[in-house]
Every structure is written in C-alpha cells, then in structure tokens.
Amino acid sequence: MIDTRNPARPSKTFSRSYLAPELQAHLAQGGTVEEWLGGRTPIASMARISADRLKGDAIGVNRQHKNNARNAALHNCAVVVCYEDNNITAAKREVIRPAFLQMIKDITHGHEEETGIPLKGCIAVERERVYRLPRDFVALQDALVLNGTGTFIEDKTPLNLVDDDGTIIAGLVTSGTGEAEVRKVRNRTKRNAKDRAEEGGVPGGPRRFGWLGADSREGRLNNEKRNPAEWPHLITMIKKRRDGRSWRHITGWINREKDENGNPILTARGGKWSEQGVKGAVTNPAWWGGRILDGELVKDPNTGEPRLGKWEYADPEVDEVDYETWKQIMADVRANRLHRGMTNPRTAEATEGETTRVGKYLFSGILRCGRINDLDEVCYSKLNGNKATGKNAKYGDYYRCGDANCKGVGRRVAPVDSFLEELVLAYLDKHFSGTKPEVRPWRGKGKLSGLIVQRRKIKDSVANGEADWDDVHDMITRLNRNIKTLEAEEQEHLRAESKRNLIRGWNRDKWDLMELDEKKEVISQVLTSVAVLPVPKERGDKAPFDPNLLQVSWRKDKPANPQSEDQESLPKSGAA
C-alpha cells in the first residue's frame, strides 16, 4: 500500500491506498476475500481533489469513496481498494500522482501488489477524478486492456474504454478537450493575474503572515487587511534583517516570542518557523506594497516607479521600513530561489572565507542533534557535513546542527565516521553474514512475455503475407506502448530489489567496492538515527572524541539471520 503522509510534517497534499473498510473488517474477523465478494466484481475506488480547502482532513476524497462504494453495488461490483490523491491536480503534466500511478499498475496486473487482492477495474464519481490529460487516459485504457476485463464506472454509468467501438475515440476527444480547456483556464488565470498586478489589485493565493484571511461577511479579500496581532512581529523580523541579524537568529527569536496570551507566534499555516519561512516573509515585497510578476517588479509604465498595491502595507512613518529597506535586504540575498522569482544579479558562489558544504558525507542525515534547544525540546535536527575552512581547517571537516532554534552540536567528521563505520560493519558481520540474497519475482513477468510473443506473431504474419500492415498498425502501436511501460516497471522493480538485497549475503569485501550512495543506503537499512549529545561544559571544545556521546538507534526489523536474533551482545550508549 502507498502512503506519502508524514506525521512529523502534516500536509494537505498526500497520496495513499488502503483496503476498503468493510473488506478490512471482514478479513479481521477471519473471513476471506472470496467470501466477502460473493461473486461480485472487485474494483478500485479512485478519489482525487485538486484543492483541499479545509484543514487536510480529506473530507472531499472520503465523500467520493462513499459514493463510489454505493454506485459500484448497482453493477454487482464491490470496491476492494481505495486510492486517493488529496490536494493534487490532474491538469499539469509535471505533477506526479502517486496513488493514480499505483492504481494503474495494480489494474494492469489484476491485483493489489502487497495483498494480492484481485482488481478488475475502477470507479470514480467523474472521469476527471481519474484523468484529465490524454496520457492519463491512455494509461488507464491500457491498464484495462491488459487486465482483460475493462470495467470502468463513472458515477453510475459503466463506460467501455476497451473495445474499439467509438467509445475510445470519444474518451480521447473528451480528454483532449479537457486539456485544451485546462490550458485556456491557466492562460486566462495568468492574464487575470497580470492585469490585477498592473492595476495594483490584491493578489490571490493562501493567507500570508501579517495579513488577515478573507471574510465575505465583511467584504474582505485574502491578504487585504493587516493582522494587528501578527503585523508587529513581521515588521520586527524585517528590521532585524535590515540591521544585519542572521536568518538563523531571526528564526530563533520568532519561535521564542509569545503573544499577549502567552501563545507562540506561529506561521500562517499554524506551524513553527523555519529559516526558509522567515526568508519568504521578509523578502516578499508585499509588506511595502510591491509585487513581482514574471521575474520583475510591477512598475508604473509612466513613472518607472513600483506600482503600489491596493492592500494595506507598511507605513514608512510609523513602521520605519519601506521599499529602500527591501532593496537593502535583497542586495544581500544570494540564492536565486530567495529572489522571489526575480533575476538574481549576483551569483550564489561563496566568497573567500565563507563556510560551504562540499561533497557528501557518510553519516549526514543519520546524525541527529541531541541538545535541548531554545524551545526546551530535544532538537533532533539533522546534522550536515561542512567543509572546514580558515583557522579551523587543520581540524578537518565537521558535522553540525543548523537548526535556528538550537545552539547546535558539532563533531569532526573523521572520528565519527571511523567509529560508526566500524560499528555498522560489526553489526552486519554478526547479523547478515551467511544470508542469501532473495529477489522477489516481478509480478508482470508472464504478462510482458505474452505481449512480446503476441507482437512477434503479428509481425511474422505481416512478413508472411497473412495480414496487411494497415490492419495491424494500431494493434502493434498499442503493444509497443504496453511493452515499454511494463519493461520500465520491471527495471524499477529490479532496482528496488537490488537496494533491498544490499546487506544480504554480506561480507566486508562488498563494503570497499560500494559507492558512497550505496554505503549510505546500507547504513539507513540498519540504523534509524544517531543522536549526538553536547560535550559537557567541564570538558571543553578541544576534549578528545568520546564515542559515548553518540547514542545509536538500530532498526527494529528482524535480522536476516534467524540464528542472530538476539542483539544483547551489542554495546549500549556510545556503541549502541
């Protein structure tokens, strides 16, 4: 099953799949899929919503699943697996829809990948929930053809997307027309945004920190009126940056600030501040009344001065910041992505003496900060590798926590890597030596072989004069497309299996032959994290490396060698 949700960073945008609740309950009571189906056709429920305008509760997709289950029963079908892409558009080619792609694969092979539960098609409240672009329509059609059944239900109406009876052409026209309409809407939106910007109109988009949200009862647009509770904090962040304070300092300050009721000052989305969030708020020209469109400030064509918007922004007399303040701040912004879409006149190359991250480090990402941060929490932020420069170059590269709310911990790379590398190798020697690689067979092998044989027979019939090329051209085209899709899926499966078997059949000779990325993958398979504790005050920064200040967490998965399931002999704390 697929699930892209991250409990640590909740988001409206996610994809997932899961067994239909009724089927799950039946299986939990000891029943079987066949008993529950009772002769009904097993199909998937596809739900998608482009914009979750609530709080990410997925109410929209849940309603779609409920309607799909009810409508499927009208055609002696039963929803066995639910797939959903929440807060994800289907109108942009660059947007990936994980649940849709997984459903297409499962329908192609006739069963859900992990459970083996059969699938003979899908149902949606409307076809646009499944496809809007021609390529997605073709992918669905190919999956239904390869499945052999071709069941597709839109709301309460079964559609035939398999047989060449004109329905396919209608489907393609609908999809193509949909994409053309999408392009028109996007172009219309761009024109509208440009017109509004040139007129100084209030820009759309989500609520920004410092402004109030929309309120139809008061006739207030989104980001039109200043938020009295947030505005002083935004101005203070701007002034701090103007005065030369670091982004990290500002982020730590705003996260420690409290409102008049003692509550923390949260972002517009209700979360803690990050350096990127602070940069976004401070560098956005909206606070002084400006706006950027197509990489340039919107200016008055007559005067050449920035066009000020029709929303509330900083008063230079009261707030003591203005357009000149913003230009001063932007002159020191080096990264292109922080230029709010503007062309960056300066390169992002580091100046002499500036600390830059060079190359990759073996345990970056696994190491976590174990210091109590300014919020009285264990920081647990990732430590990144840094190039040692200046007078500290003689000590070598170092790992360091970069969280803005923490004073951070640091360790030299060489002793950390040496100690942890030997620890990992000892663990692998103990638990994975003598194991054998296990490559799980790809479920589409037989289907791919059958299509290749079918294509060869058709080509032979043309070569022998038994069939005319014009009669089989469309069939060959579809076969080539299906074969290419399945071959790509097979390669994806083999890569996943290769990664899964990195530590099976273990011996130390493999380690020396591995690339850095492979070593990092091996480490991630046996370690969850390594907490780096701060050096006690009485020792000092130049104290010798102490491995006991590294707290290692091993993965809970069962070792591949059943004879080595006990991990009691592994050292705790520093060598744990």
In a domain, 378, yes or no: yes
CA dihedral 119, 124, 127, 133 (to 10 degrees): -60
Q: Which amino acid is at 57?
A: D
Q: What is the pLDDT of residue 345?
A: 46
Interacting residues of 151 by C-beta distance below 8 A, sequence separation 6+: 41, 43, 77, 120, 121, 122, 144, 158
470 vs 284, higher pLDDT: 284
426 pLDDT band, cuts 50/70/90, is very high
Say how many domains are in the chain. 4
> Residue 548 in contact with residue 419, Cβ under 8 Å?
no
Question: What is the Cα–Cα distance from 420 to 567, expressed in whole angstroms?
Answer: 17
Task: Mark whether 20 and 101 lie in a shared domain.
Answer: yes
Q: Does 158 lie in the same domain as 26? A: yes
Is residue 295 assigned to a domain?
yes
412 shares a domain with 453: no
Give the span between the Cα atoms of 508 and 297, in whole angstroms.
59
Do residues 537 and 405 share a domain? yes
Confidence (pLDDT) at 293 = 80
Segments forming the whole domain that contains residue 529 = 367-435+510-554
Q: According to the model, what pLDDT value does residue 492 have?
A: 87
* Residue 8, in any domain of the structure: no
62 and 171 fall within a common domain = yes
Q: Are 168 and 141 in contact (CB under 8 A)?
A: yes
- Kindly state whether residue 138 falls inside one of the protein's structural domains: yes
pLDDT band at 200 (very low <50, low <70, confident <90, very high): low
The Cβ of residue 39 has, within 10 Å, a number of other Cβ atoms equal to 7
Domain C-terminal end among 154, 175, 196: 175
- What is the structure's pLDDT at 514? 80
Question: For the chain, what is the mean pLDDT?
Answer: 81
Nearest to 437 by CA among 388, 494, 497: 497
Give me the pLDDT at residue 333, please. 75
pTM over 0.85: no
Angle separating helix axes 98-109 and 134-147, nearest 10 degrees: 30
Residues 430 and 451 in one domain: no
**576: Cβ–Cβ under 8 A, 6 or more apart, which residues?**
551, 552, 553, 554, 570
End of a domain among 175, 194, 217? Answer: 175
Coil vs helix vs strand at 306: strand
Rg (CA), the chain: 29
**CB-neighbour burial class of residue 491 (10 A; exposed 0-12, middle 13-18, buried 19+):** exposed
Q: Which residues pair with 82 in a beta bridge?
A: 18, 45
Same domain (yes/no): 77, 158: yes
Question: Domain check: are 308 and 410 in the same one?
Answer: no
Q: Report the pLDDT value the prediction gives residue 355, as an integer from 0 to 100.
A: 39
Is 171 found in the same domain as 57?
yes
Q: Are residues 27 and 152 in the same domain?
A: yes
Measured CA angle at 334 (ends 331, 339), to 5 deg: 75
| Residue 165: Cβ within 10 Å count | 9
Same domain, 250 and 130: no
Instruction: Answer whether residue 118 is part of any domain.
Output: yes
Residue 63, helix vs strand vs coil? helix
Q: Are the CB atoms for 237 and 274 separated by under 8 Å?
A: no
Q: In a 3-state reduction of DSSP, which class is residue 300?
A: coil
How confident is the model at residue 405, as a pLDDT?
78
Task: Tell me the per-residue pLDDT of 298-349, one tens digit each, with 9 for 90 and over.
Answer: 887 777 788 888 899 999 999 999 998 998 888 777 544 444 545 444 433 3
Dist. CA 223–CA 286, nearest whole Å: 9
Q: Specify the higher pLDDT residue, 175 or 302.
A: 302
Per-residue pLDDT at 337: 44
Q: What tokens does 441 get? A: 């067979």
Q: Is residue 157 part of a domain?
A: yes
Q: What is the largest CA-CA distance in the chain?
A: 91
The confidence score (pLDDT) of residue 543 equals: 78
Question: Does one domain contain both 461 and 525?
Answer: no
